[in-house]
Amino acid sequence: MDFDQEIFKGKSFSSLLEDIYKNSKNKEKQIRDLILQLKDMITEPGDAVMMVPLLQGYMEVAVKNDEALIKMASIVQKAMSLNKVNEGGGELLSERDKELLFAEIKNIEVPALPEKSAA
């Protein structure tokens, strides 16, 4: 498998893996720094109750972003492997992979856009 093969404009598989690693380390540092900053602001139990949901939301978003990159890397890796074996022939994803991918798409929560009020 050629890790330096371009998978889309300006992005190779190895640079995608590097992005996943850097994002993970960066999020870890950001979360640690945020917790340290918020720790000084907590003076009573009510403050902690307000802060925990904010931290939880931030961590969930970070995890979902990392999961999306990892899934993308998995798909690209599979495509690259199949391309070498088939030299361009055959399907990229099996029926089972397609079902899993569509199930994952259905599970993604997209926030609703605010409605425009009529003027």
Delimit the domains of the chain by residue range: 10-107
The answer to whether 84 touches 77, Cβ cutoff 8 Å, is no
Predicted pLDDT at 119: 44
Q: Give me the residues of the chain with pLDDT under 70, please.
A: 1-2, 83-93, 109-119
E strands, 1-119, where? Answer: 6-8, 11-12
Helix (H, G, I), strand (E, B) or coil at 115: coil
| Three-class secondary structure of residue 85 per DSSP | helix
| pLDDT of amino acid 93 | 65
Which pLDDT score is estimated for 86?
60
What single DSSP character describes residue 59? H
pLDDT of residue 88: 47
What angle in degrees, to the nearest 10, is found between the helix axes of 13-41 and 45-86? 180
| Secondary structure of 21-50 as H, E, C letters | HHHHHHHHHHHHHHHHHHHHHCCCHHHHHH
- Is this structure's pTM higher than 0.85? no
Per residue in 46-78, pLDDT (tens digit) is 888 888 887 888 788 878 877 877 887 788 777
